[in-house]
Amino acid sequence: MESLLYVGIGGFFGANARFLLSHWADAWLTPRWGAFPYGTLAVNVLGSFGFAIFGVWFSARTGMSPHLRWLVGSGFFGAFTTFSTFANESVAIVNQGALGISFLNLILNNGLCLLCAAAGLCLGHRLFGAA
């Protein structure tokens, strides 16, 4: 039960950070580049990068409390990133008949998230020296 408290606290901050960043990105980019789920892409890409760095940092430290992993990893980054919103937005774009935009959304979310996770792991290893 204690783990639920830590995940919940981290999730509160992650969900609010996602809301703010997602709405800011959509409000700023949509008028400039047209309709696209920029906010979801932004949080998923940043979350993939940040979670990878955190994972390496956490692994490089022995004796760290699992509470921190629950708070930041499962809680914050679990709530900050959003596969369900990505999936629903992708289906909505297809239903609107914008297959090209939907394909771009799929490629960018999956490709950039994988690249950013790999970059986060590489950077984390350079910064924290974890094997």
Query: Beta-carbon neighbour count of residue 103 at 10 Å?
Result: 13
Is 0.75 surpassed by the pTM of this model? Answer: yes
> Is residue 44 within 8 Å of residue 111, measured between CB atoms?
no
Across 2-6, 22-26, 58-62, 120-124, least confident range: 58-62
Average pLDDT over residues 37-55: 97
* pLDDT number for residue 131: 53
Q: Where are the domains of the chain?
A: 2-128
H/E stretch holding 1 reads none
The span from the CA of 19 to the CA of 40, in Å, is: 9
Cα Rg of the chain, angstroms: 16
For residue 91, is pLDDT > 60? yes
pLDDT at 97: 95
| Mean pLDDT, residues 120-130 | 90
